[in-house]
Structure 1
Amino acid sequence: MLIYKELLQKLNSEVKDEYEKDLQKVKKIFEESRDLKSTFGKYAFVIADKLLFYAELEKEFSKNYYKENSIDELEATNTQLFDELNEDNYKVSFANPEYTTEIFGNDLGALFASYYTSVRSSLDFALEHKIYALQRKLRQFIELYELLKIGSEETSKYKKVIIKLTKDLSLERSAIALLERFAPEISIYEDIIMNADLSNINYLYQYGKNISANEIKTAEFLINYPEKKIDKLVKSMITAYIRGFEHSRKDIKKKETLKIIYNIGQERIVRELVKGFNELGLKVILNDAVSTSANRQYGYDHRFDNALYFDKDFVDRMIAHQEKVMESCSDYLSKFSGPIYFDKFGEKPFNPIQKKTCLKLSEEQQKFNQFYGVSMNKMFQKYIPRTETSFSIIGFPVPDIGEQFESIFEDTLALNMIDTEHHEQIQQHIIDELDKAEFVHVKGKDGNETDIMVKMQKLTDPSKQTNFENCGADVNIPVGEVFTSPKLKDTNGVLHVKETYLNGLRYENLTMIFEDGYVKDYTCSNFKDEKDNKSYIKENILFPHETLPLGEFAIGTNTQAHVMSKRYDILPLMPVLIVEKMGPHFAVGDTCYSWEEDFAVFNPIDGKEITARENEHSAMRKTDIQKAYTNCHTDITLPYEELDFITAITKGGDKIDIIRDGRFVVPGTEELNIPLDKWEK
């Protein structure tokens, strides 16, 4: 079995002498490039300065660093690390492809911005004391400087140096990265979670990530939060995670680890979760802490930087390489039970600028990307099969949401604590009616042009089978929804939403036309140019496909969540996790059962098997797995007030209303309308 600390020590010791020599060379470059008058010289100077700063930080970085420095000093260092990404500074940053293109021209601009971004990523190497990785970046820069100092404009020479590092694969280096994700003895942030003085916000800077008002205010809010409420929340989350295994009839006793992905500032909740899971014999991996992005445009600009090297040779080599890496770490992978993910909402909406200067994947590279994604998923199914794992997602607001943050937090907590078993009983009434349907007709109103007929799968034995899963609060918190995988053939119509946010991106008048279950055409009104509208959807929803199947049709039943969004006027800020529970939604991409279609699942109330686990697209896994999966799943929700009706239509033509004029009308669901009626009064 590979041991992380031993492996890290070995890799670092192998390059120790070379690292010190290369540091001296970069110091000389720093002094030399300071006097160069050219833009190439300035570029080299800024990179040398950054690499030396990271090297110095690596030497100083330790637990004591945050105890010995004042809050002002820690804030100053954090600003130094991330300030250039702030909106105004980013305009003249070498990380901005628009700026580098303006300076270096079309051929070198995107390349130099991409390389500069890779240099910035070396910060993580410094904080994790990965001398071997820093040394590789130093050596790469030294070689690149030979071209920069003479002002070479030969793009191919620069590109050769830049991509050489990426294509240099190493089993040990890759094993380090995989172990960080799945080996419990690493838990990079465990010391912060379990030992930091949470009443002193200095600890936030120990992450080495961008620390904004969101992180600081969240930490300050939670440190004074009532202990009883924290305990109740934690017990509820642990119960939900275990319940996810029980409902899907998976044995969590076979597993030893799980991962918690949280937002910086939420350490008080995470600490109690760790204690609770430890009592159950589950070790928590803590290596994923999320902070507020310094500038989301930065990430958006560089989302396709792999276009520099993503060819067939690289994909084939990487797949073969990753198979060896996973095999070497298989002991850790087999013990992993799944993740708990803290979703966040309330950040200011992001409307990305579409830049023609950014790197983009060619059509051929998009095909390679799809092939690689499916191949990697297939590989993970071998070592961490979905038929043996589960997950849980829960959402909380961040202070960016506004002055009512604390009230919104309390109401969100109430949403997350809704009695799931009672809610599932109500949802069962809806499922009983939907299971009579051959089609479900969904129609919008008041400017919503949705008009779609969704074909249901055929039930061969309705006494034992159902099309819809009764989803309570276990894998997806809060409750509730009922969902199915529609039959693609004969699913036709228009899906339209006036305004929605998907994966943090805003869409105006998002419209998709479906023909036999696939997206035939699409548009939105974000941009004046229709080409930009289509490109926006293709790159951010369909990518890397020309079309996608309708993988899911669902009806959200959490009217309490809908009213909360209205009360605080925060609908555009709500996460998909909650929004999908606030009305009917349609997901383009894979079904909810991807990679586990052949694993039988049953509803908790009536014990019926949910047989609608595949559609015609995912069924292709039996003949060509590369054609069966899209590697995406994007939920698009219609709000209740834009909904004329949802009607089940039986094979005999009878119509059974589920929702009419924005209200649930199935007997037994009256309780769902109470929050809506109270709000309107």
Structure 2
Amino acid sequence: MVKERLALGMDKITEIIREANTDMPLDTYFRQVATFLEKTTRVYQKVNAGNYLERDVNELKEDNQSLYEDIRGENYESSFCNPDYARECLGEELASHLCFLAAEVRIAIPSAYEGQEEYLAIIYELFTLVYTLYRQGELTKKSLQQAIYWHASDYLDVFLADRLIAGATPESGIAFTVLKAYQKDDLRYLYGYGEYVGEEQLALATFINQLPEETITKMASVFTEGYRLGFVATGKDLSIKGTVSLRFVLGFERVIIKAIANFKEMGLKPVIQRAASSALLKQGMSKVGVYGGIVNKQFDYDHRFDQGLFFDKKYVQRKLEVMQTTFEHHGDLQRLLAGPAVIEVFGEEFTPLKKKESSLAYTKEQEELLQTYEMKAASIQNTYIPREERSFTIVAYPTPEIGPEFAEIFADVIKINTLDYQLYQKVQQSLIDALDTGEAVRIIGSGDNQTDLTVNLWKLKDPQRETIFENCVADVNIPVGEVFTSPVLAGTSGVLHVSQVYLNELQFENLKITLTDGMVTDYTCTNFDSESENRQYIKENILYNRETLPLGEFAIGTNTLAYAVARKYGIEDKFPILIAEKMGPHFALGDTCYSWSEEIPVYNPDGKEIVARDNACSLLRKEDVQKAYFNCHTDITIPYDEIGSLAVVRAEGEDVLLIKDGVFVYPGTEILNEPLMNKEV
């Protein structure tokens, strides 16, 4: 039945290309989108014939490039996937839905490479249905809305259920086919995923494939050992788990193959699935899974809220029902998941173009509904994969996009990721000992930095057995190091300001956030000419469309080597949050680091229990769990050179300075200043 549906769909695509042969805007639209789908058909047929990766590399490259050429570079300006162009050519009435459709049919690319015939049939049927409405003179905003809505709702039990199952099934999917085809001196394997392979991906893979074996071993060992230590540090039993979810970027296959061997020695089989491409499954701009080159970040940004076309109460209820049913039927598989192990990349900076009149956005009602969905979805997941039984690890490396000094930067990042955690553990304990004596911490910026913020701390009842801050080294969050706490919201007030910061793949300039009793009360930046655009940019990408968020974490990053390396190459604005948060005091908006597992005791290496695991928001879980969590956590770091002072405020006696004019001054922390003073770093 599926094969027949697919064959009919292919025939109809060919027919559309032949019929839509005028220069009328809608004919042009359908002809162009159908031509794209015809290309995916040809690739599917080649893959289905077998031995695809044995074809000539130039043919593989041509197939790959042809599927992405319409949204690459300047081509995006005349693509119907571009909301501005769609609106200009198709008119305001139909543009949003047809632009969505042009982007959504791109799920045919991974479907073609994975041989997912049902997925191809579904997407061809949606497109031909809309084309039929056009030919019959019935193409209206309402008919388009209905076609897209029922497509999204009807096929959740295919797309969502399949993704949840694949996300827990070991050693299945296209990635394992590619890893089996891996050859160090033959990059054809990169074209097996169906992800975009540009010059940057080829350069990254070539670079990693040429590294010494001992370097690959070190990279893989840091990755997998950090994962294991995450379980040890939190007292969780890794032996009850059986799988680990691996997430990485094309080019790291050599490291991943070594990491898989390490994980198997721990008793964990790898689960690998690609990042989602459908609006039914995506999480904004986030890439959760395996992915290739980012063809066009503006495309991703323009379509981050596509779900808004059909996101209503019925759809949410349907999505939660599919999720619940899938977990119920595959609970044993889900419970074996130990959590994700992630290799991130960084190098490209991006400030989006705002398209206020043509881009989709959630309504206020949808924003509230999305928050409800996220809370209920997290609750379902936690039922089958309890937070107290799972952990994670994450590490980041640069890509060639970072510039001509890529190789040198990569080598220095390896040093950053492999620092002596025992040394940092000892130094950080000195900071914690001082912090535990305080009522609060006050942070004041220097120069043009306008930060003046007081963070209220938990009050210890038994300082001999309790501590406020966690001594965090290189386990779940590689590299070392930081000390962090969940602040007391009441009394945490002031201004947080940073001149430039890169958050969630987006650049923010002069980001300023005002906090009152631990909650965001005002915010601005200088990315755009209009203040309303600046506020909307922050609301969408830091507050995640909420009116406010709490300060879930206050931390002091201690990785001065990372800071020195960033300054050496002038890449401070390109380091990801993962590394940047270790390069100065940082402040996370959203949930605490202990969300969903506050009841589980956590101890520092000195044996003291970390008691600051809750705040006034998370405590609401005892009354209504939907009011307790926000399902986000974004770290904002003030670099050392923008810090005038960071001091522990004591109830009695003088304040204790930890950082003064960008350097550590508390006894026992002097060694942290060495990278800052070393010009050879």
TM-score relative to the length of structure 1: 0.95
Cα drift, residue 348 of structure 1:
3.6
Residue number in structure 2 paired with 1:645: 645
Is 1:76 matched with 2:77?
A: no
Residue number in structure 1 paired with 2:422: 421
Percent identity among equivalent residues? 39
Residue number in structure 1 paired with 2:36: 50
Once the two structures are overlaid, the 10-residue window that deviates more, 648-657 or 46-55, is 46-55
Residue number in structure 1 paired with 2:268: 282
Distance 1:215 1:172 in 2: 31
Is 1:160 matched with 2:146?
A: yes
Cα drift, residue 65 of structure 1:
4.7
Relative to structure 1, the CA distance from residue 20 to residue 553 in structure 2 (aligned partners, 3 Å threshold; closer, same or farther) is same
> Which amino acid in the other structure matches residue 211 of structure 1?
V
Q: Show CA shifts across 1:403-434 (max 9, x none).
A: 11111111110111101112111100000000
Distance 1:636 1:31 in 2: 54
Cα drift, residue 55 of structure 1:
2.3
Cα drift, residue 234 of structure 1:
2.1
2:238 alignment partner, one of 236, 252, 277? 252
Is 1:138 matched with 2:124?
A: yes
Once the two structures are overlaid, the 10-residue window that deviates more, 58-67 or 488-497, is 58-67
Map 1:266-415 onto structure 2 (within 5 A). 266-287=252-273, 288-415=289-416
- After TM superposition, the runs of 4+ consecutive aligned structure 1 residues lying more than 6 A away are none
Residue number in structure 2 paired with 1:522: 523
Is 1:15 matched with 2:16?
A: no
Map 1:52-131 onto structure 2 (within 5 A). 52-61=38-47, 65-131=51-117
Q: Show CA shifts across 1:54-109 (max 9, x none).
A: 22222211695544432222221111111111231001101011011011111211
What secondary structure is seen at the aligned counterpart in 2 of 1:186?
Answer: coil
Distance 2:601 2:258 in 1: 34
Is 1:26 matched with 2:27?
A: no
Distance 2:201 2:218 in 1: 23
Cα drift, residue 191 of structure 1:
2.7
C-alpha contact 1:63 1:206 (8 A) present in aligned 2: no
Distance 1:653 1:94 in 2: 66
Map 1:180-199 onto structure 2 (within 5 A). 180-199=166-185
Distance 1:234 1:97 in 2: 42
> Which amino acid in the other structure matches residue 334 of structure 1?
R
Relative to structure 1, the CA distance from residue 246 to residue 299 in structure 2 (aligned partners, 3 Å threshold; closer, same or farther) is same
Cα drift, residue 278 of structure 1:
1.6
C-alpha contact 2:222 2:418 (8 A) present in aligned 1: yes
Distance 1:445 1:538 in 2: 27
Cα drift, residue 352 of structure 1:
3.5
Count of residue correspondences: 666
Cα drift, residue 479 of structure 1:
0.2
> Which amino acid in the other structure matches residue 283 of structure 1?
K
> Which amino acid in the other structure matches residue 300 of structure 2?
G
C-alpha contact 1:349 1:573 (8 A) present in aligned 2: no
Residue number in structure 2 paired with 1:662: 662
> Which amino acid in the other structure matches residue 422 of structure 2?
E
> Which amino acid in the other structure matches residue 115 of structure 2?
H
Mind listing any 5+ residue stretches in structure 1 that lack a counterpart? Answer: 1-13
> Which amino acid in the other structure matches residue 614 of structure 1?
D
Distance 1:634 1:67 in 2: 40
Relative to structure 1, the CA distance from residue 321 to residue 146 in structure 2 (aligned partners, 3 Å threshold; closer, same or farther) is same
What secondary structure is seen at the aligned counterpart in 2 of 1:573?
Answer: coil
> Which amino acid in the other structure matches residue 590 of structure 1?
D
Residue number in structure 2 paired with 1:494: 495
C-alpha contact 1:349 1:572 (8 A) present in aligned 2: no
What secondary structure is seen at the aligned counterpart in 2 of 1:477?
Answer: coil
Cα drift, residue 139 of structure 1:
1.9
Residue number in structure 2 paired with 1:607: 607
What secondary structure is seen at the aligned counterpart in 2 of 1:61?
Answer: helix
C-alpha contact 1:171 1:324 (8 A) present in aligned 2: no
Q: Show CA shifts across 1:600-635 (max 9, x none).
A: 11112x111111111001111111111111111111
C-alpha contact 1:194 1:271 (8 A) present in aligned 2: no
Residue number in structure 2 paired with 1:577: 578
Q: Show CA shifts across 1:285-308 (max 9, x none).
A: 122322221100001001111111
> Which amino acid in the other structure matches residue 12 of structure 2?
K
> Which amino acid in the other structure matches residue 10 of structure 2?
L
Residue number in structure 1 paired with 2:279: none
What secondary structure is seen at the aligned counterpart in 2 of 1:520?
Answer: strand
What secondary structure is seen at the aligned counterpart in 1 of 2:167?
Answer: helix
C-alpha contact 2:250 2:292 (8 A) present in aligned 1: yes
> Which amino acid in the other structure matches residue 221 of structure 2?
K
Cα drift, residue 587 of structure 1:
0.7
Cα drift, residue 520 of structure 1:
0.6
RMSD of equivalent CA atoms:
1.6
Once the two structures are overlaid, the 10-residue window that deviates more, 25-34 or 483-492, is 25-34
Is 1:213 matched with 2:199?
A: yes
> Which amino acid in the other structure matches residue 473 of structure 2?
G
Residue number in structure 2 paired with 1:568: 569
Distance 1:467 1:424 in 2: 16
Relative to structure 1, the CA distance from residue 352 to residue 590 in structure 2 (aligned partners, 3 Å threshold; closer, same or farther) is farther
Distance 1:162 1:171 in 2: 16
Is 1:455 matched with 2:469?
A: no
What secondary structure is seen at the aligned counterpart in 2 of 1:243?
Answer: helix
Relative to structure 1, the CA distance from residue 172 to residue 301 in structure 2 (aligned partners, 3 Å threshold; closer, same or farther) is closer
Distance 1:212 1:26 in 2: 28
Cα drift, residue 141 of structure 1:
2.0
Distance 1:352 1:170 in 2: 32
Distance 2:8 2:212 in 1: 54
Residue number in structure 2 paired with 1:467: 468
Distance 2:219 2:30 in 1: 51
Relative to structure 1, the CA distance from residue 680 to residue 659 in structure 2 (aligned partners, 3 Å threshold; closer, same or farther) is farther
Distance 1:194 1:275 in 2: 13
Mind listing any 5+ residue stretches in structure 2 that lack a counterpart? Answer: 274-288
C-alpha contact 1:486 1:551 (8 A) present in aligned 2: yes
C-alpha contact 2:301 2:352 (8 A) present in aligned 1: no
C-alpha contact 2:583 2:640 (8 A) present in aligned 1: yes
What secondary structure is seen at the aligned counterpart in 1 of 2:552?
Answer: strand
> Which amino acid in the other structure matches residue 635 of structure 1?
D
